[in-house]
Structure 1
Amino acid sequence: MYKVDLPVDQSIEKAVERRRAAETARKAQIFNTRLRVMGLDLDALNQQVQEKKHQQNMERQRDKAFDKMRRIHDEALLQQDIDEREKRAALHADLTQYWATYQRVEDSRDADLNCGMWGAFSITAPGSELGPASMQVFQGEGIGEEQKRREQITKTERDLRTQKEDNERKHIRDKHKEMLVSKELVHQDLRWVQQHALEEECKKAARIALDNYNQALAAERAGKLEEQRRREEKESLVEIWHTLTSDMMTECAEAAERQVEGGRPPQVLTDRWKGMSPEQLSAIHREREAQRLERERQREAEKSQEAAWDLQLLKASREAEEEERRAAKLRREKRIQMDQDNMQLAREQQAYQEYLDKKLYTNKPTKAYFYQFNTSSR
């Protein structure tokens, strides 16, 4: 036959190499104690670290932007405050200048009173700011001021005198009214005193009539009470006599018994009963003695029955003690037998352990024996 060079199949070798590489990676993952115990996912952890760093970077940038915005706002507010102060100072300066130029004290209408100026202002400069229309006090004014003041004083005195006369007339009228009112009050007091005297006389007459009526009623009531007292005394004497002569006081035994129809025994009336007869008392004593004897016989019977019960209990307790002693003896024998069995088992166990240690398990494993395990991922 002819020798033919066939191409080598590389797929098998590649498959073997892939399996070898997968086995190596599998061993690296399985035999790594940290990964096998904790089960860490490095890719997920790295991704979390990257996300955390990105988030921190974003927060730092945001804080920087906020700080920059706050500085800008602070500078704007400071500049606005400075501008407002400058405007206020300029406005105050202009206002002060206006007051000094156009609203002087000496230019006011009462400057002659406040500043002590008399007469018209002199106009000397052709271009002066004050003209003839600005003059308020002229020469020649104030003539006859003294005469006017005297007339004003006279008028004031006249008015005061008239007012005083009006007050005096008013005072006289008020005194006249007070006198008339006082007279009217005196007349009213007199009428009231007279009326009060008449009322007192009427009340006195009424009291006298009422006293007479009460005396008559008291006399009538006293007569009725005396009649009632005499009637009660009579009734009391009759009741006392009836009580003294009644069956209750005479202690009649037949009075305390009431006959009953139908042949039944007579019924005793408790409100009339005075006690038992000697025959009844002797019958009661005989019945009581018979009851005492019966009670004595019952006590003797109970004592004999209790003695029999005590004897029975004593016998039962003795039998229970004997049974307890037999049970204790049996338990002691069982415990001794169990101790002997345990000692025998202990000797056998010790002998078996010596056999295992000295004869059976004599070939101890070396390190090479343990190294042959867990060398593959399968």
Structure 2
Amino acid sequence: MYKVDLPVDNSVELAVERRRAAEAARHSRIFNARNRVIGLDLQTLDRQVAERRERDEIQKECQKAYDALRVTNDQMLEQSQREEEESRRELRRDLLRFRDTYQRTEDSRDADLACNRQGALELNLSIPESQLGPASMTVFKGEDLGENERRRAQMGENERQLRAQREDTEKLRHWQKHQELLQDKYMVQQDLRSALLQDLEDKGKRVERLALTDFNQSLAQERAARERQERELNDSTALSEIRHMVTSDLLTERPEAAERPAWPGQGRRVLTDRWKGMTSEQHSAILREQEQQRLEREIQREAERQRERAWDQERMEQARALQEEERRGREMERRQRMELDKYNQQLAQEQQQHQQYLDKLLSTNQPTAHYFTQFNTTTR
């Protein structure tokens, strides 16, 4: 038999080691009070901080790239604007050169009018006259031959217009004078009519004043007569009142004036506004009545005092009975409290005996510190 070296299978040992490492990591993670209570994961926090820094760096790089691109675009835009301005200036210069060369004022068709020069084209034309057509004619000889007649006709027309204007002005002046005359006549008529109306109004006012005067006089006479009648009536009334007061019971002071017949079932009536005082008999009767009332009041007071004494005696007896009842109640409470104290002492003795039984006879095997260390030692 030949000895063959077979490879050793370490998968089981590796699996065991892997499980042991996982268990150790789990043990350190679970039994770490700080991580379990607070929940702090430093690795995760470090990773998050690194990711945040990386994102910030990326954003900064992007911002720098955007800034560089913006600067480049601005420079390109400025360059294009400068080129555009330069091209515009070049175009303007070319246009001015073209106009100076090919579009001069003295070379135009109306140079004789613009520059006050007759025959300007004839002097500057480089083309032979035989080669020019009818459309090239700009200056004609013999123009405005009837200038004098035209001026005389214009002067005659101006004179006719002036005469017509003078005639119109004269007609307008006559019409205005006629209108002024008509206005004056109208104003005179209005003045005459106003004067007539004013005269009629004055006459009417005079008639009204006369009528009003007559009416006021009649009213004054009626009022004077009415006042005279009222004065006479007041005088007669005053005299009658004076006569009545002099002869009345008020000033004569008759006692009988205050007495009136009695009503059925009632005593004699007295008029207070006419009463002159009591007589001696009335005064004596009142005194006798007052004395009688005083005696009756004294009897009532004595009866009240008797009743008060009886009530005081009754209240004293009730108070003594109440005190006796309270004393009996306190005595009963004292006896009940003594009985309760005895019962509590008996219960305390029984409880003490039971505790001694538990401590000395029943609970003799006390646990040691090693007994409590066997709990909460694994993660499973």
The 8 Å contact of residues 259 and 267 in structure 1, kept in 2 or not, is answered as yes
- Alpha-carbon shift at residue 185 of structure 1 (Å): 1.3
Question: Which residue number in structure 1 is paired with residue 211 of structure 2?
Answer: 209
Paired residues for 1:339-354 under 5 Å: none
Identity %: 44
Instruction: Confirm or deny that 1:269 pairs with 2:233.
Output: no
Question: Which residue number in structure 2 is paired with residue 105 of structure 1?
Answer: 105
Partners of 1:160 and 1:15 lie apart in 2 by: 137
Question: Which residue number in structure 2 is paired with residue 117 of structure 1?
Answer: 117
2:174 aligned residue (172, 180, 188): 172
Q: 1:241 to 1:258 in 2, by over 3 A?
A: same
Output one character per residue of 1:269-307: Cα deviation in whole Å (capped at 9) or x when no partner.
Answer: 34x3355347578999997xx99xx9xxxxxxxxxxxxx
Q: Secondary structure at the match of 2:43?
A: helix
2:232 aligned residue (230, 233, 243): 230
Question: Which residue number in structure 2 is paired with residue 365 of structure 1?
Answer: none
Gaps of 5+ in 2: 1-9, 298-375
Question: Which residue number in structure 2 is paired with residue 189 of structure 1?
Answer: 191
Relative contact order (alpha carbons < 8 A, sep ≥ 6): 1 or 2 greater?
1
The 8 Å contact of residues 30 and 36 in structure 2, kept in 1 or not, is answered as yes
The 8 Å contact of residues 253 and 276 in structure 2, kept in 1 or not, is answered as no
Q: Which amino acid aligns with 1:41?
A: D
Partners of 1:17 and 1:126 lie apart in 2 by: 118
Partners of 2:98 and 2:14 lie apart in 1 by: 107
Gaps of 5+ in 1: 1-9, 295-376
Q: Secondary structure at the match of 1:121?
A: helix
Q: Secondary structure at the match of 1:125?
A: coil
- Alpha-carbon shift at residue 178 of structure 1 (Å): 0.7
2:221 aligned residue (200, 204, 219): 219
Q: Which amino acid aligns with 1:175?
A: K
Partners of 2:254 and 2:177 lie apart in 1 by: 109
Output one character per residue of 1:35-78: Cα deviation in whole Å (capped at 9) or x when no partner.
Answer: 89987533213312321222123212321332233234323422
- Alpha-carbon shift at residue 156 of structure 1 (Å): 1.6
Paired residues for 1:1-378 under 5 Å: 40-101=40-101, 103-107=103-107, 111-119=111-119, 121-122=121-122, 124-126=125-127, 133-270=135-272, 272-273=273-274, 275-277=276-278, 279=280
Output one character per residue of 1:215-243: Cα deviation in whole Å (capped at 9) or x when no partner.
Answer: 12221222222122212211221122112
Q: Which amino acid aligns with 1:117?
A: R
Q: 1:110 to 1:117 in 2, by over 3 A?
A: same
Partners of 1:176 and 1:15 lie apart in 2 by: 143
Moved more, 58-67 or 173-182: 58-67
Partners of 2:177 and 2:238 lie apart in 1 by: 87
Q: Which amino acid aligns with 2:277?
A: M
The 8 Å contact of residues 119 and 138 in structure 1, kept in 2 or not, is answered as no
- Alpha-carbon shift at residue 34 of structure 1 (Å): 9.7
Q: 1:77 to 1:21 in 2, by over 3 A?
A: closer
Output one character per residue of 1:113-156: Cα deviation in whole Å (capped at 9) or x when no partner.
Answer: 44221246316522799976354333322434344334423432
Q: 1:108 to 1:231 in 2, by over 3 A?
A: farther
Moved more, 153-162 or 237-246: 153-162
How many residue pairs get aligned? The number is 285
Q: Which amino acid aligns with 2:260?
A: R
Q: Which amino acid aligns with 2:59?
A: E
With normalisation by structure 1, the TM-score equals 0.59
Q: Which amino acid aligns with 1:202?
A: G
Q: Which amino acid aligns with 2:163?
A: R
Q: 1:241 to 1:47 in 2, by over 3 A?
A: same
With normalisation by structure 2, the TM-score equals 0.59
Partners of 2:34 and 2:218 lie apart in 1 by: 134
- Alpha-carbon shift at residue 175 of structure 1 (Å): 0.7
The 8 Å contact of residues 111 and 121 in structure 2, kept in 1 or not, is answered as no
Output one character per residue of 1:329-361: Cα deviation in whole Å (capped at 9) or x when no partner.
Answer: xxxxxxxxxxxxxxxxxxxxxxxxxxxxxxxxx
